[in-house]
Amino acid sequence: MLKYAVIGLAILGGCHGLHKSAEWAERRGWIYYCKNRGSGGAFGNAFLEVQSIIEPSARHVLEERVKDDREDDENGDPPVAGNKY
């Protein structure tokens, strides 16, 4: 019985350590874990492309998103504060 309790505590301690490591990496800006949320990015655009095949009205959202990105790249202004790229 004591053996199972020690194994359970070791597993809980390992999970807690992984959680704290992930929070530390998030504070450094390496990953998105709990507090910060990433933007849709390429994956979101790819999903919209697939969705536009099934639902043609989604094509409009994809076109607007791409148009906004293109306008941001062409306007010559410095990036908005908080954006890394």
Judged against a pLDDT cut of 60, whether residue 78 lies above it is answered with: yes
Q: What is the pLDDT of residue 38?
A: 57
Residue 55 placed within a domain = yes
Can you give the residue range of the structural domain that contains 11? Answer: 1-33
Residue 9 placed within a domain = yes
Residue 81 placed within a domain = no
Residues 68 and 56: their CA atoms lie apart, in Å, by 20
Q: What is the pLDDT of residue 35?
A: 73
Q: Is the same domain home to 15 and 44?
A: no
How many domains, the chain?
A: 2
Q: Is the same domain home to 27 and 44?
A: no
Q: What is the pLDDT of residue 50?
A: 72
23 in Cβ contact with 33 (< 8 Å) = yes
Q: What is the pLDDT of residues 17-67, one digit of tens each?
A: 999 999 998 888 888 777 766 555 666 667 767 776 777 666 666 677 677
Residue 67 placed within a domain = yes
Query: Which one has a higher pLDDT value, 48 or 4?
Result: 4
28 in Cβ contact with 22 (< 8 Å) = no
pTM of the shown model: 0.42
How far does CA 65 lie from the centroid of its chain? 17
